[in-house]
Chains A and B, each alone.
Chain A
Amino acid sequence: MSANGTITQTLREAAAQVLSEEKVGVVIGYGRDDGQEFSTPVFLRKAEEVKRLVFDDLCFGNLAVYLPRPEIRKMGKTGIVVKGCDLRAVNVLLRENVIKREDVLLIGVRCGGVGQPQLPKCSVCELHDPGGCDVVVGEAIEQQEVKAEQRYTEAGKIEAKPAEHRWEFWQKQLSKCIRCYACRQVCPLCYCKRCIIEKSTPQWVQTSPHLRGNLAWNVTRALHLTGRCVGCGECERVCPMDIPLGAINQKMAKVVDERFGFRSGFSAQEEAPFTTFSTEDSEEGIL
């Protein structure tokens, strides 16, 4: 067990305190029932319930997905357990005015990485220590330096293929899509009340799970997350068809990084690349 193992106790104490002092109406954290293969979301309303809380290396979920939900907001101020990667999503929600800082109480966890073996995103994590949280638990973790070329290795593997092979690859991958929209539903940044796919006048994206519709859906999803996606990788984790969605998002993250020097979710004040522009932007490829 990694360094994460010792955090549970401190986390429970922190949650019990904010609940008993009525600083929050709910704490969203991770719990694990018997037989569960990974830690799953729990919603705690009372200090007595904190024994359900755990933190371990199977806390994959990005709980920020629950923050915009009306049924959660009804409970009052929301306490939420966030890893560094989750905090980036919270920052985007703040930046986009979906939630207000005073409506959330961030319980940051110094996380050494999740997954057995560890997820690729954790080995290039630049936010083991979530800054700007109201409470932080866990011991300090030494931050390894991450080089630019390490950030986009999944996208890079696909970029390295010749174009025909890329299309062949994606054709195979996208044909598998069953349009369950788990990728959208699990994404903390897909908070639209009505997704473009659910609008029919006009019907921009075909809802049928054939390659044409699936391509349109996945292109649309990728573009709507460009400059916003924080790379938490939840979409890829939950995809029941094992489509490498993370690579698509990573590609777009790379595009905005290279073109505009922008990486999403490191601050709640940043200006997103598609809400602004520079007169110096590249003209390459324009006739």
Chain B
Amino acid sequence: MGEQKLYQASANWLKSAVDALCAAGIEVLAPTQSESGKVDLARVTSSEQVIQSYPNTAFPLKRLFLPMSEVLLEYEKGEEGDVELGPKSAPAKELVILGCRPCDAAALEMLDKVFQWDYSDVPYQEKRDRTTVVSLACSEPSPECFCTSVGGSPQGSEQSDVLVFGGANSAALMQINTAKGEKFIERLADTVTPAPEGTKLPEPTELEQKFDPQKVKGWLDENFESNFWVENSLGCLGCGTCSYLCPTCHCFDIVDEASWNRGQRRRNWDCCSFALFTLHASGHNPRPDQAARYRQRLMHKFKVFPERFGRVACVGCGRCLKNCAVGQNLLADLADIESR
């Protein structure tokens, strides 16, 4: 990396960025708050819809690149028995994501690895290419956060085209990491200025390391068969909340939906907690109970992924433990593993 490019902007940078980008006709996703108080990234058309102060968004970024449900194929059967396949892909429009957290941006690294594994997944990559990610560094991690335990940092810049420090109550400092980031800065024009020479990034926010993934993997390597899996999954309901809110979980299903002579092939999210996930048409299920499915989830994240891609498939956002209906706590489970 060459010289770090830094820019400075006002405390209101988020709102001015929204206005500047919307004025330029670019699609913008920015943090908004729903009636029930949920903070989430949503398409906005004016800075009035945007909030500037929040711990993290309810949803991670993955649904923007791997939508919950997306059309892979359209078909129409003709009179002569022929089949027309579509749709013709439309040129992708530029999209800017403003104000996601560094952990969520870092998760794109894991998704990139999977969706670029020998085969480049076109629907994913198109969305990835058109998108600029502008993250907001964390100054106050939440109690459920543990990014530093999985190789991340509250100020991590991984997969952020731009990383913003400060804002909301203080002036913002923008670190430009990629060419897409530079283009973003150009669009903001007069609301940003190059930071004076010698400007330093703020001191990193401290966040204690809560477990050691190496140690966890060491135990996982030896304990495919263990009572741990049964005991710790007794409470697990087998729903998809943890996976669906996880920034790195990427499993999907492909289904056809037909009506009369036409229909769609769709890619929908799927989840290893579901009994159906691995069920063969013959009725055989390689993962027949919740213990096996719970094991798959942990093994995939903390053993298989490191073995295949060199890092754990977890960014420490803590959404799974925060949202679990029965208080299943990944951190506690990993601490338990580490202590064995």
Contacts and interface: CB of A to CB of B under 8 A. Distances in A.
A124 interface: no
A207 B36 CA distance: 27
Interface in A44-70: 61, 65-66, 70
B234 A180 contact: no
A242 B36 contact: yes
Given A71-B289, A206-B257, A65 B237 contact: yes
A209 B268 contact: yes
A182 B329 contact: no
A38 B324 CA distance: 11
Contact of A182 (B36, B275, B325): B325
Nearest to B258: A203
A186 B239 contact: yes
Contacts of A181: 239-240, 274
B285 to A, nearest CB: 11
Contact of A185 (B38, B237, B323, B332): B237
Contacts of B241: 180, 182, 238, 240
Interface in B214-249: 230, 234-235, 237-241, 243-245
Given A181-B274, A198-B276, A240-B244, 9 more contacts: A41-B234, A65-B237, A178-B68, A182-B241, A206-B257, A207-B268, A209-B69, A240-B323, A242-B36
A130 B19 CA distance: 59
A65 B239 CA distance: 13
Contacts of B268: 179, 207-209
Contacts of B275: 194, 198
Interface string A19-38: 00000000000000101111
Contact of A208 (B244, B255, B332): B255
Contact of B327 (A40, A71, A180, A184): A40
26 contacts: A33-B332, A38-B327, A40-B326, A41-B234, A41-B326, A42-B235, A66-B235, A71-B291, A72-B234, A178-B240, A178-B244, A178-B269, A179-B268, A180-B239, A180-B240, A182-B239, A182-B325, A185-B237, A185-B238, A185-B239, A194-B276, A198-B275, A207-B268, A234-B325, A238-B237, A238-B239
Interface string A231-259: 00010011010100000000000000000
Interface residues of A, number: 35
Contacts of B238: 185
A71 B239 contact: no
A41 B324 CA distance: 12
Of the listed residues A180, A181, A186, A206, the one surrounded by the most CB atoms of chain B closer than 10 A to its CB is A180
Interface string A144-179: 000000000000000000000000000000000011
Of the listed residues B69, B243, B268, B327, the one surrounded by the most CB atoms of chain A closer than 10 A to its CB is B327
Interface string B49-92: 00000000000000000001100000000000000000000000
B277 to A, nearest CB: 10
A128 B316 CA distance: 41
B289 A207 contact: no
Interface size class of B (residues with CB under 8 A): 35 or more
B175 interface: no
A210 interface: yes
Interface of B: 36, 38, 68-69, 143, 230, 234-235, 237-241, 243-245, 253, 255, 257, 266, 268-269, 271, 274-276, 289-291, 323, 325-329, 332
A234 B325 CA distance: 9
Contacts of A41: 234-235, 326-327
A209 B68 CA distance: 7
Contacts of A198: 274-276
B290 to A, nearest CB: 7
A271 B315 CA distance: 51
Contacts of A178: 68, 240, 244, 269
A217 interface: no
Contact of A240 (B245, B274, B328): B245
Of the listed residues A65, A186, A237, A240, the one surrounded by the most CB atoms of chain B closer than 10 A to its CB is A240
A38 B275 CA distance: 27
A266 interface: no
Contacts of B245: 240
Contact of B269 (A40, A209, A240): A209
A191 to B, nearest CB: 12
A242 B237 CA distance: 18
Contacts of A185: 237-239
B297 to A, nearest CB: 14
A178 B332 CA distance: 27
